[in-house]
Structure 1
Amino acid sequence: MSTVAAPLALVHSTSAKPEEIRRRELAAFLRSRRERLSPEQVGLPALGRRRTPGLRREEVAQLAAVGVTWYTWLEQARDIQVSTQVLDAIARGLLLDPNERAHLFTLADATDPAPPAMCPTVTPAVRAIMEQLEPMPVVVTNSRCDIMAVNRTYRHLITDLDAVAPEDRNFLWLAFTHPEWKKVLVDYEGATASMVAKFRGAMADHVAEPAWKSLLKRLRLASPEFEAQWERHEVGMVGHGEKRFRNPHVGLLHFEFTNLWLGPRQSTRLVTYSPADDETRERIERLHAYAVSKEQAAVGQ
């Protein structure tokens, strides 16, 4: 993948309005991407002599199926409206890679209708970080609330996650269908209401995706409690905060949790749970020791 050049328009007058700076930056970016391409690269005939490198504006307009005058205004930083469909066509015509495409939509202050798929895997480096943070519980999750990876302490924070079927390892599904989660989550109603609100907020970007629709349908059929929460149409955002668990092995645990994003988009994140008091700190040491002993016993079998 290519890298995006450092902003050039930001050196203009500091008195310029933010939207004007954004338009200038968009214009400069489009020119730079146009000038690096040859007609042959985009399937056009190379006609006539070229005084400047790259594609002509009329050729980009042809590729994006827009008027030449309109595209010229775009490269001149004129104050015009740009639809997401046109931006998508320009991105395809200019052969933008995922980084460049995201940059284009950011500069245009628009939402990408077809964002690049994010890789759902958890890298060995992230798993090493999770292990190094023990005895603190750590989990990797995504905006759909899937549990993607846990360290040993988190594995036994609420219930033994090894005993949960892989297709059921989702925070929402477990909170509304697994009896242990209802016992362990202190302030269960508040916690689940917050989860549902965050899920609704995240789903706005994924309403047409089968995996999201399937999970929503499954939850609504399985849990009248979830259905009631869903029908409230509350919307929430992911943030930091406090959470308490009544762990079956060591008792009450009080944490401050922090979200660390693992990519450029707010999707996959690593969540750390730091003890909020000395009692929790001591108890989490004991829970970690319990988790290690369970792992060693499993290996010895």
Structure 2
Amino acid sequence: MTSDHQRKLLGDFVRAHRERLTPDPPTGRRRTPGLRREELAARAQLSATWVTWIEQGRDAQASPQALARLAEALLLTRAERAYLFELAGRRDPDHAQAEPSERAPDSLAAMVEALPHPAYGLDRFWNAIAWNIAAADLFSGWLGEGRDRNLLRYIFLDPSARRFILDWPDRAARALAEFRADFGASFNDPPMLALVERLVADSADFAALWKAQTVMDREGGDRGFLHPERGMVRYRQFTFRPADRPDCKLVMLVRETRLS
């Protein structure tokens, strides 16, 4: 449910963009700039009353499909369209998901390479798509040559992960709850569904945790690992999302202490 303030912002936004549009065909002098509400409604295949209510900040029950037609009629950019749906409190039905790719966006790859700390980039499936030398050394069981570089499959299907990750039961449960938050943006995506279905089939631990329906924001904090050569090491984890690819994330681990 949207607030009165939110609906007013939406109405102001729609009206401002309507007034920027040029009638087709152009006409002579008009009392109002841009399109009339009736003209916008006709372009968007919506009722003029609905457009009027939206601009007046009334509760017009804006469906995702109606908002999509409105966005197209207003000739909104991608950022403007996302803002429209955010103000309306709706999910864009035409929101495009990036295809799985082994190549990280340039912004993410550059940041990972520049960091002196272990750092890696994940796509929306939690595949590692970039990592630096420090990360490869720390996560040799995951990022080593010939390894399956999906973080979830590593955590739940690789026996070495249970020895390497300190407090594995808690960390595994936390990781899955954070992944579910990402899953919410792609729950109708066939590759995402296939990933989850395979993990449910292959891991009883994953299946049980998935059934629990726990969802958490991705947070930083202390992370401990039992490195095969360096022994127990601890880091402070931080996570960021690149502005140009918010479906990806950058994870950085800053060394805290070494325990003997």
Question: How does the TM-score come out when normalised to structure 2?
Answer: 0.87
Measured in 1, the distance between the counterparts of 2:182 and 2:133 equals: 28
What percentage of residue pairs aligned between the two structures are identical? 33
Contact 1:158 1:245 in 2 (8 A): no
Structure 1: runs of 5 or more not aligned: 1-17, 284-301
* Amino acid across the alignment from 1:140: G
Structure 1 residue 54: deviation in Å? 2.1
Superposition deviation, residue 125 in structure 1: 4.3
Q: CA deviation at 1:114?
A: 2.6
Once the two structures are superposed, residues 43-88 of structure 1 have per-residue CA deviations (whole angstroms, 9 ceiling, x without a partner) of: xx55776333322211211222222122112112224322222111
Count of residues in correspondence between the two structures: 256
1:239-258 equivalences in 2 (<5 Å): 239-258=219-238
Establish whether residue 187 from structure 1 lines up as the match of residue 167 from structure 2. Answer: yes
Structure 2 CA distance, aligned partners of 1:216 and 1:52? Answer: 53
Question: 2:241 corresponds to which residue?
Answer: 261
1:292: which partner in 2?
Answer: none
8 A contact 1:184–1:246 mirrored in 2: yes
Q: Deviations over 1:10-37 (max 9, x none)?
A: xxxxxxxx93332222222112211222
Amino acid at match of 1:206: S
Partners of 1:143 and 1:266 within 8 A in 2: no
- Does 1:32 pair with 2:9? no
Q: State the partner residue of 1:286.
A: none
Provide Cα deviations, 1:168-222, integer angstroms capped at 9, x if missing partner: 3111011112232222111111111112222223222211101101111221222
Point out where structure 2 has 5 or more consecutive residues left out of the alignment: none
Matched residue of 2:234: which SS? strand
Tell whether 2:145 aligns with 1:150. Answer: no
Indicate if the aligned counterparts of 1:159 and 1:181 stay in contact, CA closer than 8 A: no
Is 1:128 the counterpart of 2:110? The answer is: yes
Please point out which of 171, 174, 192 is paired with 2:154.
174
Matched, 1:106 2:86: yes
> Which residue identity is paired with 1:240?
G
Q: Which AA in structure 1 matches 2:55?
A: E
Q: 1:139 aligns with which of 120, 125, 128?
A: 120
User: Against the structure 1 CA distance between its residues 124 and 86, is the aligned structure 2 distance closer, same or farther, given a 3 Å change threshold?
Assistant: closer
Q: What pairs with 1:1-301 in structure 2 (closer than 5 Å)?
A: 19-40=3-24, 45=25, 50-118=30-98, 121-134=103-116, 136-159=117-140, 161-165=143-147, 168-263=148-243, 267-277=247-257, 279=258
Structure 1 vs Structure 2 CA RMSD = 2.5
1:91 CA drift (Å): 0.8
CA change 1:191–1:176 in 2 (3 A) is same
Residues 112-159 of structure 1: CA deviation (Å, up to 9, x unaligned): 23324358653444333323321x110111343221211111112122
Residues 27, 264 of structure 1: alpha-carbon distance in 2 compared, 3 angstrom cutoff: farther
The alpha carbon displacement at 1:242 in A equals 1.4
Are the aligned partners of 2:121 and 2:131 in contact in 1 as well (CA < 8 Å)? Answer: yes
